[in-house]
Structure 1
């Protein structure tokens, strides 16, 4: 619950962290952030939709081609441990106390989702995480950097599952109606990407 602070003020206190460092093995090891729909890449759609924030950072691994990224890039300090490595590195290198976290494979991300999550923000909670149809989406949510030591401890214990991290901290889950299912859809495979392209072309034709 917001008390004495507006959503706009919270957004100014926050930084966006877009995770692009996954292996993308199911996508033929192509960087998913670079996939294009028409003339725009996934990362372009996401950044455009999240421009309600003042500060957007890209979290990547050291082996990626990062030449065509205009935002600040931070490189994972610990390799090969998945998204938790990106989260920890971001918390170590960003001054903001609040991070809005998302991955690069959700090109349908909506600013409406951001506002719904921040409308439910409460400083009492460490994380604000969306849930739809009973499924939790831990890589599209709000994280407070004060949990950095717990993240570090989980990494030290080789516990890299984000769900386990959320179980250890004070997490608030926000339920979304199934009409938002498309917004939360991840594009993980070549087949899913081809279907998505076909869907976008059909939708454009219908419009």
Structure 2
């Protein structure tokens, strides 16, 4: 159990492509958000959710915080988490990554680096919504959030301005493509249900 780093679930997105809140979609007997909360609680002694619709998540009985910079994407969620966490570092997990495993999270947590941000590159893409962020970047985050027009690319633009450790996990014995499966559309959910029948963690 990690007590010196806070587990953070980002659940602030509008789910506009799905038309419903994707974190409440069912996987077996649980919703996606319930599965991720259980997973994070098995790793971190402090777990919080960042969401702009906190009333929807009260049933989970864990601390809920809203973005301070409203509707400015995942970077605003990370900013709020860094402000509200009791720890100097946070581990961020987006609510639309249902296959992420405890092994993958532990590997990132144990990766030897002094850099303030740590995440993977998998499937040819950076995966910054499964990673570590340190409070030392707060001035950079606040400066960026307060001075930039936002687009889908803004978060990735910000990441180019700070020192990041990028992990390449494809050769790890427990690595599977599905670990970073991202749920965005109804078609993704149908694929997810199909994959869930045979996926083993």
- What TM-score, normalized to structure 1? 0.86
Shift of 1:48: 2.1
2:146 to 129, 138, 156: 156
Shift of 1:148: 0.5
Task: Tell me the distance in 2 between the aligned counterparts of 1:194 and 1:132.
Answer: 22
What's the CA shift string for 1:78-116, capped at 9, x where partnerless? 212111111111111112101000101111111111121
Return 5+ residue gaps in structure 2 as ranges: none
> Partner residue of 1:189?
185
Shift of 1:150: 0.4
Task: Tell me the distance in 2 between the aligned counterparts of 1:80 and 1:17.
Answer: 18
> Partner residue of 1:108?
99
CA contact (8 A) 1:21 1:61 kept: yes
Shift of 1:141: 0.4
Distance of aligned partners of 1:62 and 1:38 in 2 relative to their CA distance in 1, 3 Å threshold? closer
Return 5+ residue gaps in structure 1 as ranges: 1-7
The size of the alignment, in residue pairs, is 193
The answer to which of 72-81 and 178-187 deviates more is 178-187
Distance of aligned partners of 1:115 and 1:63 in 2 relative to their CA distance in 1, 3 Å threshold? closer
Distance of aligned partners of 1:159 and 1:13 in 2 relative to their CA distance in 1, 3 Å threshold? farther
Distance of aligned partners of 1:118 and 1:159 in 2 relative to their CA distance in 1, 3 Å threshold? farther
* Counterpart mapping for 1:111-150 below 5 A: 111-122=102-113, 124-150=114-140
- What TM-score, normalized to structure 2? 0.88
> Partner residue of 2:4?
13
| Higher Rg of the two aligned structures | 1
Task: Tell me the distance in 2 between the aligned counterparts of 1:86 and 1:144.
Answer: 14
